[in-house]
Amino acid sequence: MWWKETAVRTVIIDGQGGKIGSSIVRQLKNSLPELQLLALGTNSIATSAMLKAGADMGATGENSVVVGCRDADIIIGPLGIILADSFIGEITPVMARAVAASRALKILIPMKKCGVEIMGVQNTPLSGYIELAVARVKSLLEQKGEPSGLPGQQ
């Protein structure tokens, strides 16, 4: 893969216009500029938006999501990335399965548009959830200096 051997392999997945993914990329790069980010879009518009926001590399489409999830340490994106046919059909069953089956820690942003309600989740603005996701990545990196020490990885 393109990552440095010692890097925490962080993947951001988004679709449609890439607004959520680009916000995540921007905030992560502002907080952790050395963190290498791979932007995976379900379409070229989403990928382009995340690259413009500062992702180090990007790829588009189903196979890119499958391959990118295979080696990821952390996957971040809207809840819909684990739900087949979400994003108005942009998330294929193969993509959803690749994300869900990945050994990576998944940091998912709850979205009401996915047709899923998660009990216990507060009614927080999207920007608040993105800030929480960035804070979680920072906390993980501070606690564990090595990718192999991240939760969910044995």
Map residue 126 onto helix, strand or coil. Answer: helix
The answer to whether position 149 is within a domain reads: no
The answer to whether position 89 is within a domain reads: yes
Q: Give the mean model confidence (pLDDT) for residues 95-124.
A: 88
Rounded CA separation 86/81 (Å): 7
Rg (CA), the chain: 14
pLDDT at position 4: 59
State the pLDDT confidence band at 143, using cuts at 50, 70 and 90.
confident
In eight-state DSSP terms, residue 6 is T
Rounded CA separation 55/102 (Å): 21
pTM > 0.75: yes or no: yes
Q: Does 145 have pLDDT greater than 50?
A: yes
Q: pLDDT digit string (tens) for 31-84?
A: 999 999 999 999 999 999 999 999 999 999 999 999 999 999 999 999 999 999
Residue position matching structure tokens 């993105």: 130
Element housing 100 (H / E): helix 93-101
- The enclosing domain of 76 has a CATH number of 3.40.50.720
The answer to whether position 100 is within a domain reads: yes
Q: Give the mean model confidence (pLDDT) for residues 91-117.
A: 90
Q: Please work out, in degrees rounded to the nearest 5, the angle formed at the alpha carbon of residue 40 by the alpha carbons of 36 and 45.
A: 120
Q: Please give the residue range of the domain that contains residue 84.
A: 10-143
